[in-house]
Structure 1
Amino acid sequence: MYGLFSVCGIELEYMIVSKDGLGVLPVSDQLLKAAAGEITQCFEHGAVGWSNELVLHVIELKTNGPAKEISGLDTQFAENIAKINAILSGSGGMLMPTAMHPFMNPDTDMHLWNHGDKEIYETYNRIFNCKGHGWSNLQSTHINLPFATDEEFGRLHAAIRVLLPLIPALAASSPFREGEHTGWLDTRIITYRNNQKKIPFITGQVIPEPCFSWEAYEKGILEPMYRDIAPYDPECILQEEWLNSRGAIARFDRRAIEIRLMDIQECPKADMAAVSLITETLKKLISGGWSTYSSQKEADQAFLVDLMNKCAKDARNVDIENPAYLSLLNIEGKVTAAELLLELAERMPENAPYKAEAVKLCSIDSLAERIMSQTGNRPSVGRLREVYGELAECLAENRFFQP
């Protein structure tokens, strides 16, 4: 059992595309077979594990068990990305970053994982029809943070709720869908929000409800969710904690909260910079150095949801004027999301991992804005191929995208 911030688990999702044209390449099963010698759902390579996802064109890389520190994880992920790219090269493929493929057509490009334990995927497909962007075109970075007691769960959940709305401002990387700018810089979150609208309580308002104990969470979130899906899932295949699709979900089975709201960035170095900023800010919130636990629990749900939506649309170009909210982060007066993120990065302890990279990340535009600075609002597919090809190079070389 791990206490607060004693370990961390990171998951990175990447799309597999063709080098020639960046078309979706559904070969994750063949990738895993080439690595493991047989078709499998997971493969361990040192400190990093590879695993399949719902669809055959996505692969997940994750820390191979809880990591005691995140320093150096970007290098370990980068080494595995290089190994994967070397394998994929034989079939003309490579990994591509960002949270959404800019021009894929899910109606024709989506292929479900069809090996081994596929009952869960088939059940999702039967209930929700997975031919859509919400199932086949949403790549994210997940952060798993532990808690050892009910008290630690409450404090961690309260702090995460405060910080969640700012994550789209920090990490937006999905401005395009089917070749068009959607008007949102974080299209992934908007797509994700409507992904399971047949049973809306599964996602809720994305910002989780104010539940600060295991019992309150069970009664307020898990039990209603299981009840709502039961008519569609009589065999109880999906009635597990991971069915919860909020932006952060409690995993009592492994005593952790999984933050799922973050668009994946252009390279592991950028992802780990964002992870470190989020983690260090949560540490400060929980320490009580900026605000009390009781005041964090009172954070207004409607305001948090509204701020998340504004940040998903305009990323760092959002004015934040709510004194009650800003006081939780020890900020006075009106600020933009960009100013707030940079302040949080500069407040990180000098010995915090990836501090310099976090300050850099918060000193430039969001990745979505950097992409659009090169594409404009109405790019051709050819121009999207050029820019996203450059992003794939950034991933392969583990470097920031700086137009």
Structure 2
Amino acid sequence: MDLEEFLRKKQTSIEQVLASANEEGQLVEEDTLIVVGSLSEGLATLKSDMDLILVTDRDPKSISKNGSIAWVNGKCLVDMEIVHRAAVQELVTRFKGWIQGGWGKTFAANFSSEERKLLHRYLKGIYLDDSDNKKQNQIVKYDEIELSRLKLHCARHTARSIQVDVVGHKQRQDYRSITYAAIELLGHAIDALLASHYITNPMAKWRSRLLESLPDIGLSELDQRFKSKNADDIVWHLHKIPEHTPQAILEQAHEIFTFCRWVFLYAEIKLVHPHVFKFFKVITNFPLPNSDNIGYSTLPLLEFDVDFHINDDEIFMARLNEFDEVLSLSSTELSLVMQFNGKTHEEEALSNVFQKKIGVEERNTLNKLLKAFDQTGLLAKD
């Protein structure tokens, strides 16, 4: 539902809202009024409020002691937050400084959830009485790619902590905590996937609606087995509580972690390291008849805390917080390792990467990987 349709059903109009906002806030020419929230993004329902942000050079408390004003216009509840322009400028400057600082997942970005929401709202809001975009350009000094990186960073940083926690849960045989943590991880992977499509809304309540809006999951750029699959259907399948047995819980968790690892890899390549697309060995959908898999082992699973790191043209894998050996992988090796999902047969994985060019050298590549990952403790020991 767009803004005009919403206001019509609420028996008011943008002109009436603007007039009442002028009256309630005693607006002056330098003020900036922005429609934000679900109404600015086509997510509103008839139960939605109309959220406004008033950016002003005046002291917000001189306009309202609470820093906001609410009123009813027609049958529409209007809620106007008042923000000093200096606070907006400080937030935007700090964000630009974070962007210029480069990419790193070790430390958390110093932005609260409210600040991330504001950065998104300034970028995606509808600026009223601003036909030449002058007021918007005074505030928004960043783009959706930069803000998508912040969303990805927050998802990646939190996800890495969850990965480490889950290994601890497994050691303690705390299987219920594994399930809850895996589902939490899935939520952060959704954020990363949305970020890879430049959807910067950070609010968890819109994850499902926003997933439905994706025209394509995108992961087929790395693995063609994801081609024609809908992101919302995959997530719906994964977002469930398994039977309360260790085996069922670990299987469900590994399925979630395998999918999340693909999402994080894709999102990071797209938003931070796009040059990797040029040399990445894309996994093809090259299934073999079941008879061809007879006698070949199923590939193992990666441990929950195994993560990747990209540095220029190099790709590394290691366990988080273990400080053991780090493995350097070629693009071809990474494509093989990303099929360590406990389901894909060795011959099928080789076919997906090398297709019909499978010989002694190709099989040796996979065998060396299996040995190296086993020796360094990167494989799951359930």
- TM-score bucket of the superposed structures, by smaller chain: under 0.3
TM-score, L = length of structure 2: 0.27
Bigger fraction of residues in helix? 2
Q: Which has the larger radius of gyration?
A: 2
Q: What's the TM-score once normalised by structure 1's chain length?
A: 0.26
Q: Which has the higher contact order (CA 8 A, sep 6+)?
A: 1
